[in-house]
Amino acid sequence: PRVRFFHWLANLDRCWTADRLARRNLPHPQRCPLCDQAPETIHHLLLECPFSRVVWHEILSWLRLSCPLPNVDATLHDWWRSARHDTPKPMHKGLASAALLVPWMIWKHRNGCVFEGTPPSVTSLTARIKEEAALWARAGAFGLLAILPQTWDVH
């Protein structure tokens, strides 16, 4: 439920990123805490950020999903619909789980950087996403289980 709620907020642009804080005249970082290259918006954070794009690439490759990276000009939902079209039907549920998991974990990593002073790390984040994917698969995300690499231990 938390992941779906986050996606609902992100889709409505209601996440407390720097642009939203600025609109309310609240203190905010000048640039994205993950790449330090552009102003932080939810769209930038999840789709445009060079850091996030590397994470997307690593996870989609690890899951052997041949779909392209999320398009920076589209919404996450638009990308998912397009990627679903380009993905074999048996992998659709796994793709849907990945499309929920990766942005959620990027958001959590961003929050660690902002609130705990954790340095951004693609290696750390991709490892955590892989661990979380295994947990989701064990908890019943069978579509995700179907696309996890055979060498990944989910038991």
pLDDT 10s digits, 8-36: 999 999 999 999 999 999 988 889 999 99
Domain assignment present for residue 80? The answer is yes
Contacts 24+ apart (CB under 8 A), 88-94: 90/146, 91/65, 91/143, 91/146, 91/147, 92/143, 93/141, 93/142, 93/143, 93/144, 93/146, 94/63, 94/65, 94/143, 94/144, 94/145, 94/146, 94/147, 94/148
Question: What is the structure's pLDDT at 37?
Answer: 96
Domain assignment present for residue 60? The answer is yes
Domain that holds residue 27: 2-147
Domain assignment present for residue 73? The answer is yes
pLDDT band at 122 (very low <50, low <70, confident <90, very high): very high
Distances (CA, A) of 38 to 32, 35, 43: 6, 7, 11
Specify the range with the lowest mean pLDDT, choosing from 101-105, 121-125, 136-140: 136-140
pLDDT band at 72 (very low <50, low <70, confident <90, very high): confident
Domain assignment present for residue 152? The answer is no
pLDDT 10s digits, 73-99: 888 889 998 999 889 999 999 999 999
Number of folded domains that form the chain: 1
Separation of alpha carbons 127 and 144, rounded Å: 16
Domain assignment present for residue 135? The answer is yes
Domain assignment present for residue 81? The answer is yes
Question: What is the structure's pLDDT at 154?
Answer: 57
The model carries a pTM of: 0.93
Domain assignment present for residue 121? The answer is yes
Sign of CA dihedral 93, 95, 41, 114: positive
Say what percent of the chain tops pLDDT 90: 83
Domain assignment present for residue 155? The answer is no
Question: What is the structure's pLDDT at 66?
Answer: 86
